[in-house]
Amino acid sequence: MKTVNFCFRVHQRYNLKKYRFFEIGNDHYYYDDYEDEMSVSTAANQVYLEANNVLLNMIKDFNGRFKVSFIISGLALEQLEKFAPEVIDSFKALAKTDNVEFIATPYAHSLASLYDDDEFVRQLKMQSDKIFDLFGKRPTTFANTALIYSDEIADKVSKAGYKNIIVEETKHVMGWKSPHYVYHSVVNPKVKLLVRDNKLSDDINFRFSQGNWSEYPLTADKFMSWIAKSPAEEEVYNICMGYEALGKLNVKSSGIFDFFRKLPEYAIENNITFSLPSKIVDNYKSIDALSVVYPISWTDEEKDVSAWCGNELQNEALSKLYALSERVNLCSDPSIKIDWQCLQDSYHFYFMNTKHYSNGRVLAQQVPYDTPYDAFINYMNVLSDFIDRVKSQFPTSIEDEELNSLLKTINSQNARIEELEKKLKNKSKKA
């Protein structure tokens, strides 16, 4: 039987204010609170409240046969708690139905999986704890920032305790293979891979409101008929997109909410079910391995990671940021910990991307800087102040290289202590 996994990414970044060079050392607050509140309030009114209400009613109206999953960053949850707590309440109402799955993702919507293994694991735990605190559920499936994935990342995710990963459909990886099956990692067969159907996802995300699209208007009947008419042996359809597709990229007057309301009706007519990611890997066997040597993502035509680390500006910023990781982890100043998460948001580096003006025009409209160089200068001014604050936490008599070596040793010892404590607990339980 064919089944559909609808999965929505929810993220709200902290907007950096215009931070000039002469403010370094004098101003340690980096954010535009007005812009943050406005963007969250707008998203709440245009997208989150309406969409959550629609999905909740779909679950109720069809007696739990409709199911949906969410990838929500920790930064988004922080801002929703602060500026739109009613949205958190609406997600709690969805969670209570048991027809919703929350998916693990880096807390800061970061690139830590590419740059810092320890920070990556810390962020997964932070986000899992946040999800549990708010909704009483712990994620079992993982989806990276922008679905960034590689064989190496699969190994890291597996060691962090996750066995299911949502990945992007890319031609150079999939080849002739269909995205409509469960696959597994070539480096760890126990790690199951759910492949995003980029055509069906983008039909809703980007093409739904395009009057010149050959399939316009897209109706729920038509959409479900495409799935029903696909080869009989194809089983799983992962439809993943940003939640802004409902109400922002496709405004309410486009009919996007009416489209979603009718999906379960036509799914039932075509003998199509809805499933959560964790249940899909339980009910459908993997048919083959996927090998992904170089990282892929769902962004831009290239489907790689060049949107965030494809030029010298981005690499300079990222290298200086993640060089601080060991020190930040041992800092006692809570404000440094908070800024550390906010400064890792992948959007800061996306704004330094020089490709915005050749493709990706939909996302380019969201860029708050005139040029990538403006984005770089503003970020580096902020980062310079942050670096000084971090360094001030440690003795100035210790050289950078010596300090980094010392911090790595301390972290290694802490990890070893935790490992030994776990072994002792297990032995005591057996005894």
According to DSSP, the residues that pair with 296 across neighbouring strands are: 149
What mean pLDDT do residues 104-126 have?
Answer: 98
Burial of 163 (0-12, 13-18, 19+ CB in 10 A): middle
pLDDT for 399 equals: 53
The C-alpha atoms of residue 64 and residue 37 are separated, in whole angstroms, by 34
pLDDT at 313: 95
The residue-averaged pLDDT of 36-52 equals: 98
What is the structure's pLDDT at 79? 98
Q: Report, as an integer, the average pLDDT of 279-286.
A: 96
Per-residue pLDDT band at 423 (split at 50, 70, 90): low
Look at residue 430 in the predicted model and tell me its pLDDT: 58
Give the distance from CA 363 to its chain's centroid: 16
The string of pLDDT tens digits covering residues 168-213 is 999 999 999 999 999 999 999 999 999 999 999 999 999 999 999 9
Asked if residues 36 and 269 have their Cβ atoms less than 8 Å apart, the reply is: no
pLDDT of residue 367: 85
Rounded to an integer, what distance in angstroms lies between the CA atom of residue 119 and that of residue 141?
A: 19
Give Cα separations from 47 to 40, 58, 64 (angstroms): 10, 16, 22
Q: What was the pLDDT predicted at 355?
A: 78
Average pLDDT, the chain: 92
Q: Which residues contact 405 (CB under 8 A, 6 or more apart)?
A: none
pLDDT of residue 401: 54
Q: Are 308 and 356 in contact (CB under 8 A)?
A: no
Bigger pLDDT: 301 vs 338: 338
Neighbour count for residue 23 (Cβ, 10 Å): 17
Per residue in 371-381, pLDDT (tens digit) is 999 999 999 99
Confidence at residue 375, expressed as pLDDT on a 0 to 100 scale: 95
Measured from the Cβ of residue 255, the count of other Cβ atoms closer than 10 Å reads: 18
Element (H, E) at 227: helix 220-228
Give the tens place of pLDDT for each residue, 12-31: 999 999 999 999 999 999 99
Q: At what angle do helices 74-83 and 85-95 cross, to 10 degrees?
A: 120
Please provide the DSSP assignment of 249-317 as one string: SS-GGGTHHHHHHHHHHHHHHTT-EE--HHHHHHHS-EEEEE--SS-B-SSTTT-SSHHHHSSHHHHHH
Residues 6+ positions from 247 with CB-CB distance below 8 Å: 46, 47, 50, 51, 256, 257
Percent of the chain topping pLDDT 90 = 86
Tokens 């943050």 belong to: 36
Burial of 137 (0-12, 13-18, 19+ CB in 10 A): middle
Q: What is the pLDDT of residue 25?
A: 95
For the chain, percent of residues with pLDDT exceeding 70: 89
Contact 344, 383 (CB under 8 A): no
Label the pairing between strands 182-185 and 286-290: parallel
- The total number of residues shown for the chain amounts to 431
CA dihedral (350, 356, 359, 365) positive or negative: positive
Query: Which two tokens mark 170?
Result: 């890319």
Q: Is 239 helix (H, G, I), strand (E, B) or coil?
A: strand
CA angle 246, 4, 234 (to 5 degrees): 135
**Residue 359, pLDDT above cutoff 60:** no
